[in-house]
Amino acid sequence: MSTEPSSSRIDLPLAGLAALFLGSGALHLVRPQVFEPIVPPQLPEPRKIVEISGVAEIVCGLGLLHPRTRRIAGLASAAILAGVFPANVQMSIDAGKRANRKRTAKSAGFFAGTVARLPLQWPMIKVALRAGKGTGA
């Protein structure tokens, strides 16, 4: 039997969300050109926005892993996931247009992946909100 307080334990959904944030955040910094096209055109300096969002995702991912920062990281993670949802929709629209134009298996597969990812945002937001309430995932 563990003597650790339950708030110090991290469950699989929360660990998975943290890993997704860490990986995505790193990708934002290593390959920002992948994300620049989905930055709304009304916003200035797409590269800077992509880099800042990458750092924010890394900070959230790390915060989800530590009991003392998990609540604020959970709330921030939920906000990020909700905030980037329109960009993810735009990425799917753009990928669909590209797949229709190119008609290759690669472009069709990428499009399918972007569409499949959209409904996964909601369970990720749920996990983040549970962490924000301090109840785990």
Residue-range domain boundaries for the chain? 11-128
Q: How confident is the model at residue 135 (pLDDT cuts 50, 70, 90)?
A: low
Distance between CA atoms of 62 and 21, rounded to whole angstroms?
8
Does the pLDDT value for residue 1 go beyond 90?
A: no
Q: What is the pLDDT of residues 26-53, one digit of tens each?
A: 999 999 998 998 888 888 999 999 999 9
Output the pLDDT for position 9: 75
Lowest mean pLDDT among 44-48, 79-83, 88-92: 88-92
Distance between CA atoms of 107 and 92, rounded to whole angstroms?
11
Its pTM surpasses 0.85: no
> Any idea what DSSP says for residue 35?
T
